[in-house]
Amino acid sequence: MPSVLAMGDTLVEVSMQVTDAWEDSPDMRASSCMVGAGGSAANFAAVAAALGIDSGLATDVGNDFFGDFLIEDLHRSGISTRLVREHSGDNSTCVISVGADGDRRFISYRGAPSQAPSAEYQAQLMDDLASRDWLHISGFWLQSPITADLALRSATAAKRQGIPVSMDPSPQIMESPNEFVDRLLDVTDVFFPNAYEACAFTRKSDPGEAAGQLAGRVPTTVVTDGANGVIWASSDGISTIDALSVEVVDTTGAGDALAAGFVAARLVGESAFDALHLGVRIAAVIIKSVGGHSAVQQLSRLQP
């Protein structure tokens, strides 16, 4: 069975349905509220597992009230927790206001600072990585020097072993790149920024221009642009894939789902073109439900 290791964030999602996610009122009324498990890396791993890929996750989980809840979600999602580090601190939490159009606004707390990984954990990580067919990194781990260093060393090791590396960045590291971003891009094979992230990093106003510039340093760049679809840039040029027309409930996790669909398809030998089309279909399923990976049970029929 093809396998992937994801590295990055696992967190508690508090999703609230509101009229307008971008409203500036100091007192917004929510019509519903759901507490679930999410995080970019966890969303990716859950979708990949639902598509029949052996999925592991290197992540940090705190020992607060939500610790067991997050671990149980990973188990239910079929994700290996061998590389989950439990620490004495708070879990990351994200409050998400979801507008009537499915667009959302985040207020994130990234949890207690991680402790430097032990030599034993690092050896375990490298051993697991050597058995994988793909490494996927969530950019949220690049916001902390400790986890960023771990991600970079893992990506460098994967590159040496011929294991493809993909990265899904975060808005903060694209707005203000740190020392790890450029070094990681140098060993990344597939880059999955959204339109905002791509434009922020390249200082371009047009997502297509941003995708073209990024493709000059990463072999494959996939820029997600919501209802406008996907921009795919490589040495062969730039093309677009339309988004599917579906009723949008919550766009949280759409980019993670698309990335997981792409990787899953590539791991079973599909072309990049077909892999992107599968990713678009997977994302269309995810955005019809509230939560970053709450709809993964519906994905088995879409296996590549």
User: In this structure, how many other beta carbons lie within 10 angstroms of the beta carbon of residue 125?
Assistant: 22
Residue 40 has a pLDDT of 95
In a domain, 221, yes or no: yes
In a domain, 114, yes or no: no
In a domain, 34, yes or no: no
What is the tens place of the pLDDT at every residue in 284-300? 888 888 877 877 777 76
The C-alpha atoms of residue 195 and residue 203 are separated, in whole angstroms, by 12
Domain that holds residue 280: 5-9+40-89+124-293
In a domain, 248, yes or no: yes
Q: How high does pLDDT run on average in the chain?
A: 91
Q: What are 96's two structure tokens?
A: 């998400």
Above pLDDT 90, what percent of the chain?
A: 67
In a domain, 94, yes or no: no
The C-alpha atoms of residue 249 and residue 33 are separated, in whole angstroms, by 13
Facing residues of 223 across strands?
Answer: 231
Residue 301 has a pLDDT of 65
Q: Buried (b) or exposed (e) across 254-269, using 16+ Cβ within 10 A?
A: bbbbbbbbbbbbbbee
**Does 135 have pLDDT greater than 90?**
yes
pTM here is 0.94
pLDDT category, 244, cuts 50, 70, 90?
A: confident
Q: By three-state DSSP, how is residue 128 classified?
A: helix
The C-alpha atoms of residue 70 and residue 113 are separated, in whole angstroms, by 18
What is the tens place of the pLDDT at every residue in 61-109? 999 999 999 999 999 999 999 999 988 889 999 888 888 887 878 888 8
CB 40 within 8 A of CB 72: no
Q: How many domains does the chain have?
A: 1
Above pLDDT 70, what percent of the chain?
A: 97
Range from 132-141, 166-175, 285-294 carrying the lowest mean pLDDT: 285-294
CB 176 within 8 A of CB 200: no
The pLDDT of 141-156, averaged and rounded, is 94
Write the CATH number for 164. Answer: 3.40.1190.20
pLDDT category, 113, cuts 50, 70, 90?
A: low
The dihedrals phi and psi of 46, each to the nearest 5 degrees, come to -65, -40
Q: What Rg value do the Cα atoms of the chain yield, rounded?
A: 18
**DSSP-assigned letter for residue 246:** -
Residue 276 has a pLDDT of 95
In a domain, 271, yes or no: yes
**Does 193 have pLDDT greater than 70?**
yes
The C-alpha atoms of residue 44 and residue 293 are separated, in whole angstroms, by 8
Closest CA to 41 of 64, 53, 59: 59
Residue 112 has a pLDDT of 66
Residue 287 has a pLDDT of 84
The pLDDT of 200-223, averaged and rounded, is 95
Q: Higher model confidence: residue 191 or residue 242?
A: 191
**Does 175 have pLDDT greater than 90?**
yes
In a domain, 79, yes or no: yes
In a domain, 99, yes or no: no
Residue 303 has a pLDDT of 67
